[in-house]
Amino acid sequence: MRQGELVRKLPSLPPVNGELSALGTDRLAEILPIDSLAFGRSRERLLTLLSGNASICVLRRGGQIVGYSMKRDFGRGYVVGPVAATNSEDALHLTAAHLETLKGQFVRVDTREGDGPYAAFLEQCGLSVAEVVTTMSKGHRFLNRQKDEPWFYGLAGHALS
């Protein structure tokens, strides 16, 4: 769990590989395939509930959605998550798209990324580790990273994944 007051100037990022755009909640079905692939099963009901007060950003390459992120009101500020992408650079852009609108405000991002580019970016944005939790599952392992497949850089929430 990373949280804090967001810096007023976000770190520089390399140029985005693709096109970032907003996605209306009426088009939620467009992100369900990438979410299901990253999670291992459908979370349509959860995403429908989360999208009720969320803004959604998608990253497209060649007209196909290759990643998405959500931002929503949460607690004393905002939470960015879930963030699904096939690589950390895409995840940075999908997260930054929301952070750009939240400078100076309290923000939280729940992530399993303990180090690497995504964790470093969040730290530079003023979001420090507030709590560390253990991922648990019953009956089978889940959220296992596969090469060239979508991965959750930001979770829906630390209790939800």
- Please tell us whether the domain made up of 2-154 is placed in CATH 3.10.450.40: no
For 76-124, the pLDDT digits (tens) are 899 999 999 999 999 999 999 999 999 999 999 999 888 999 999 999 9
Q: Is the pLDDT of residue 142 over 90?
A: no
Residue 103 CA to residue 116 CA, distance in Å, equals 23
For 4-21, the pLDDT digits (tens) are 999 999 999 999 999 999
* Domain chopping of the chain, boundaries: 2-154
Reported confidence tier of residue 41, pLDDT bands at 50, 70, 90 = confident
pTM of the model: 0.91
